[in-house]
């Protein structure tokens, strides 16, 4: 699983050689930023190594283009990147904003 930030140093951090070195039956999960992985290389490796699996909810180009090879790879699981959606999300966001606003106003007085 990769959860690194995308910086110039982490761009394509997961390369073709990284993916090829994964052990038999490994599952790679990216929930961070799409460009951390060389997507073209990943497609190539997943095509040649059906034992490997990728679970992805972020991509180099978003939304994932309809013609992306990833859609057709049986060992690639594609899901939407919507980690912010959950029950009570609106109430939690309101409470954070309200609390921050109260704090800001009290510091201005």
Instruction: Give per-residue pLDDT as tens, 21-57.
Output: 999 999 999 999 999 999 999 999 999 999 999 999 9
Examine the residue annotation and report whether 20 is marked as an active-site residue of this protein. no
In this predicted structure, what is the pLDDT of residue 84? 65
Catalytic residue (one of 20, 48, 62, 92)? 62
Annotation says 48 is catalytic: no
Active-site pick, 33, 39, 53, 60: 33
| Cα 51 to Cα 30: distance, rounded to the nearest angstrom | 18
Q: Give the model's pLDDT for residue 88.
A: 84
- Percent share of the chain, pLDDT over 70: 97
Determine the 3-state secondary structure of 39 from DSSP.
helix
For the purposes of burial, counting CB atoms within 10 Å of the CB of 12, is it exposed (0-12), middle (13-18) or buried (19 or more)? middle
**Which CATH architecture describes the domain 16-108?**
3-Layer(aba) Sandwich (3.40)
Q: How far apart are the first and last CA of the chain?
A: 46
User: Which tens digit of pLDDT belongs to each residue from 47-56?
Assistant: 999 999 999 9
| Domain limits, the chain | 16-108
């Amino acid at each position: 699983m990769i959860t690194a930030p995308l910086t110039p140093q982490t761009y394509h951090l997961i390369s073709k050689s990284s993916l090829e070195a994964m052990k038999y039956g490994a599952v790679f999960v990216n929930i961070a930023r799409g460009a951390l992985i060389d997507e073209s290389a990943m497609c190539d490796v997943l095509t040649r190594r059906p034992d490997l699996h990728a679970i992805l909810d972020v991509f180099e180009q978003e939304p994932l283009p309809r013609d992306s090879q990833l859609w057709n790879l049986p060992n690639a699981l594609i899901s939407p990147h919507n980690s912010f959606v959950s029950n009570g999300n609106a109430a939690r966001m309101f409470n954070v904003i309200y609390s921050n606003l109260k704090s800001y106003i009290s510091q201005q007085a």
